[in-house]
Amino acid sequence: MLCDPIMAAQLNGYAHMKSLGEGSFGAVTAVKRRDDISRKPELFAMKIFLGKNTERFDAEIKVLEELKGDCANIVQLIHGSREKFPYVLVMEYVEKEFGEPEFQKGLSPERAKKYFEHLTCGLGFMHGKLFVHCDIKPANLLLTKNGKES
């Protein structure tokens, strides 16, 4: 990895809490605001782009900004920064992935219907804004602590 997630968080006013994953674009890490000294600080997900090619970053931030604030079923962008390298997106922290083992056991029909309704609501909102999600898979379906799907 070209950049330490701890350093990336600190450069942007956050404190690294834990790594959440890595991909071809870079890394995702859980962060809190550096000045938040509460016992239960609010967590955010920081997506750290490590490539010098900014096209993917620019495309993702454009989509997230267009979708910001209007749909409870879409992870919300807090802010994005391309002012200094590495480029970062700070987003709402979402607790669980739908693909985690507890969901692989199967769902009741009622729970599956509820999740599917939230999924189609989010996708319908995106399609209404003329965006298409090109990577729908269990790992990209997320649940907040209170069970809200994003």
Annotated binding site: 47
Least Cα distance to 26 among 74, 75, 86, 91 occurs for 86
DSSP state of 138: G
Q: What is the CA radius of gyration of the chain?
A: 16
- Spell out the alpha helix ranges (H) of 3-87: 5-11, 55-67
Distance CA 50, CA 3 (A): 7
Binding site for ATP, by residue number, is 47
Rounded Cα gap, residues 133 and 127, in angstroms: 8
Strand partners, 47: 28, 89
